[in-house]
Amino acid sequence: MKMAKVLPQISLLFILLFFKGTFSYAQDFDVACRLAQPFCSDASRELTFPNTVGDMDGLGEVGCLNTTPNPAWYFLRIDESGNLVFDVQQWVDGNDNSNLDRGERQLDVDFIAWGPFPTSFIVDCEDLSRGCDTVGDDSPRPAECVNNVDDPDYYLNNLDNTNIIDCSYARTPEDDTFIETLTIPNAQTGEYYIILITNFADEAGVIQLQQTNLDESDAGTTDCSILDPGVGPDIATCGEFPVTIEGRFPGAISYRWFSDAVGSTNFTTAVPDPEGMFPFLEVNAPGAYQLIGYSDAARTVEVGRDDLVVLDVSNAVVSVGYSIAEESFAGSYTITAEVEATPEVENAGFEDFEYRLDRDLGNGFIEYRPFQSSPVFANVPPGDYFVTARYANCPDSEERSEVIMILGYPKYFTPNGDGFHDTWSLINIENQPTAQIYIFDRYGKLLKQLRAGGPGWDGTYNGRNMPSSDYWFRVEFNEPRDPNMRRRVFAGNFSLIR
């Protein structure tokens, strides 16, 4: 029978244990959650992490869990936004290969998860709700929390009215129910989620979160770079401050931050301690920041250092150019955007730009290709376009190119007086007044000579309507793709449809 337990106390300067090794200690809720370990689920490999033993008292009643023996604390960071669904399981990994093999004994696993948070370090662990508020009286109680097995939509619809994101326990592990399901809906890039996983069997083993919805279009992903020691990748912000940064080093129990200007590596300015031993920092301005970890509370024995850049990219784009691979009248074209970034962005090595292609369909420019990470737009028909470039997910940085005018011709026209495609003329030839345009019938008879920028051919010859058929044209023009604007001749055909 599960029972609530009295919580033992531990000192604040608790030694931080890392991945390779089983946790064995009594926990205080207010400190243990701060020492959560990084966790992820990677599509290319199955990752396992050690469980906890030796603390059957645990943390008592938390959320839907009546008891929390051997709590193991982990955190996830979201890489790509979307929905995430995991199978949570625990087993005795007899051959230490991180795979659940035939004959290996599975262990009962329960969990509760909270989020989202801007950092994994919850300084005040009371920020993690220990109960739910189903009745809406602003008094969360564990008794009001629901097992997601009984009501799968309870946490998805936030009926708990707290920051609990999901909670589950197996009712009948004796019936071989060893897998729980954790769902994080609509997670956003950079968010953190805290997870507590129990070990009712009190046996040493491994825990695994296996993401099961990676093949779905709306799936998000976790960021496995958090497993690496240090402060992680550089951060681009779209003018939004403060920005929370964090890091960690194996064996470190205290930390110190330093700052410097972007591009410098002196790091002589010490940042006032934000929260003692915890390696996170709220920064209010762009800059370079360095974290040093120490193995002692006096911060004399260094065990690691790393730095990152926080950069405001809201003005990252100076101008947008383009190039076109094909010559005029190729039929389809490849437009490649070219971004000139600010020197600060270039020097910091920030390259995460994205590009959109807009087209004029006669009533103004509209989106033709949505934002993409590649600057290349292939299979573009003739017409008028411009490219908009920006730093990824930063609308304030958007700049666009000049109008891109690509020569071409309609494949058909329908001179029936309805106001649509009533005449035939070349596309974007109006800026070449010296162009010569001729139209012929199938026998080579000259029917019409057109003026660049004129009204086009209405499908008549000497006042008579010409029949539905294929017709030919020839154009002499200056090639706009050539820097010397060399003279060219192009011939093609089109259809008249009545």
Read off the pLDDT of residues 127-147 as tens digits, 9 standing for 90 and up.
Answer: 899 999 998 888 999 999 999
Nearest to 167, CA basis, from 179, 191, 183, 178: 183
Asked whether residue 171 is assigned to any structural domain, the reply reads yes
Mapped onto helix, strand or coil, the DSSP state of residue 35 is helix
Residues 398-446: pLDDT tens digits? 999 999 999 999 999 999 988 889 999 999 999 899 999 999 999 999 9
Residues 356-383: pLDDT tens digits? 999 998 889 999 999 999 999 999 999 9
Tell me, yes or no, whether 116 and 173 share the same domain: yes
Alpha carbon 399 to chain centroid, angstroms: 22
Asked whether residue 293 is assigned to any structural domain, the reply reads yes
Asked whether residue 376 is assigned to any structural domain, the reply reads yes
* Residues 281/289, Cβ–Cβ less than 8 Å: yes
The whole-angstrom separation of Cα 41 and Cα 267 is 35
- pLDDT for position 31: 76
Contacts of 428 (CB under 8 A, 6+ apart): 382, 383, 384, 405, 406, 407, 408
- Is pLDDT above 70 for 300? yes
Asked whether residue 45 is assigned to any structural domain, the reply reads yes
The C-alpha angle with vertex 221 and arms to 38 and 106, in degrees rounded to 5, equals 60
Which amino acid, 215? D
Structure tokens at 447: 């029917």
Q: Which of 264, 289, 312 is the last residue of a domain?
A: 312
Tell me, yes or no, whether 283 and 349 share the same domain: no
Tell me, yes or no, whether 124 and 45 share the same domain: yes
pLDDT grade for 233, boundaries at 50, 70 and 90: confident
The whole-angstrom separation of Cα 59 and Cα 50 is 19
- Residue 168 is inside which H or E element, if any? strand 164-168
Q: Which of 32-36, 38-42, 398-402 comes out lowest in average pLDDT?
A: 32-36
Q: Which of 279, 312, 345 is the last residue of a domain?
A: 312
Beta carbons within 10 angstroms of residue 65's beta carbon: 25
- Residue 31 is inside which H or E element, if any? helix 29-32
If you average pLDDT over residues 283-293, what whole number do you get?
94
Place of tokens 């009248």: 329
- pLDDT for position 2: 28
- pLDDT for position 16: 33
- pLDDT for position 205: 93
pLDDT grade for 25, boundaries at 50, 70 and 90: very low
Q: Which of 406, 422, 444 is the last residue of a domain?
A: 406
Best mean pLDDT range from 2-6, 130-134, 272-276: 130-134
Nearest to 392, CA basis, from 318, 310, 309, 316: 316
Tell me, yes or no, whether 68 and 205 share the same domain: yes
The residue segments making up the domain with residue 288 are 228-312
Tell me, yes or no, whether 175 and 41 share the same domain: yes
CATH label of the domain that carries residue 365: 2.60.40.10
Q: CB-based burial of residue 490 (10 Å sphere; 0-12 exposed, 13-18 middle, 19+ buried)?
A: middle
pLDDT grade for 15, boundaries at 50, 70 and 90: very low
- pLDDT for position 76: 94
CATH label of the domain that carries residue 75: 2.60.120.380
pLDDT grade for 173, boundaries at 50, 70 and 90: low
Tell me, yes or no, whether 370 and 419 share the same domain: no
Alpha carbon 113 to chain centroid, angstroms: 21
Asked whether residue 101 is assigned to any structural domain, the reply reads yes
- Residue % of the chain over a pLDDT of 70: 92
* Domain count for the chain: 4
- Is pLDDT above 80 for 260? yes
The whole-angstrom separation of Cα 419 and Cα 426 is 18
- Is pLDDT above 60 for 7? no
Residues 106-127: pLDDT tens digits? 899 999 999 999 888 877 788 8
- Is pLDDT above 70 for 275? no
Structure tokens at 282: 């709220």
The whole-angstrom separation of Cα 104 and Cα 95 is 9
Give CA separation, 120 vs 110, 116, 332, in Å: 21, 10, 50
Tell me, yes or no, whether 242 and 386 share the same domain: no
Asked whether residue 119 is assigned to any structural domain, the reply reads yes
Q: What is the mean pLDDT of the chain?
A: 89
Asked whether residue 10 is assigned to any structural domain, the reply reads no
Give CA separation, 242 vs 282, 285, 311, 312, in Å: 6, 7, 12, 11
- pLDDT for position 174: 58
- Is pLDDT above 70 for 314? yes
Tell me, yes or no, whether 285 and 395 share the same domain: no
Tell me, yes or no, whether 93 and 34 share the same domain: yes
Tell me, yes or no, whether 127 and 209 share the same domain: yes
- Is pLDDT above 60 for 9? no
- Is pLDDT above 50 for 41? yes
Among left, alpha and beta (phi > 0; psi -120 to 50; other), residue 411 is: alpha
pTM comes to 0.74
CATH label of the domain that carries residue 463: 2.60.40
DSSP assignment letter at 65:
B
Residues 183-217: pLDDT tens digits? 999 999 989 999 999 999 999 999 999 999 999 99
Structure tokens at 60: 């008592």
Structure tokens at 355: 């590009």
The whole-angstrom separation of Cα 324 and Cα 335 is 5
- pLDDT for position 18: 35
- Is pLDDT above 60 for 1? no
If you average pLDDT over residues 26-48, what whole number do you get?
79
* Residues 332/295, Cβ–Cβ less than 8 Å: no
Tell me, yes or no, whether 129 and 205 share the same domain: yes
Asked whether residue 137 is assigned to any structural domain, the reply reads yes
Beta carbons within 10 angstroms of residue 122's beta carbon: 20
Give CA separation, 152 vs 144, 146, 175, 182, 219, in Å: 15, 9, 21, 10, 18
Tell me, yes or no, whether 388 and 402 share the same domain: yes
Residues 473-498: pLDDT tens digits? 999 999 998 889 999 999 999 999 99
- pLDDT for position 10: 28
* Residues 348/263, Cβ–Cβ less than 8 Å: yes
The C-alpha angle with vertex 26 and arms to 24 and 31, in degrees rounded to 5, equals 110
Contacts of 175 (CB under 8 A, 6+ apart): none
- Residue % of the chain over a pLDDT of 90: 70
- Is pLDDT above 60 for 14? no
- Sheet containing strand 446-450, edge to edge, reads 412-413, 487-496, 469-478, 436-440, 446-450
Beta carbons within 10 angstroms of residue 451's beta carbon: 14
The whole-angstrom separation of Cα 249 and Cα 291 is 10
If you average pLDDT over residues 289-317, what whole number do you get?
95
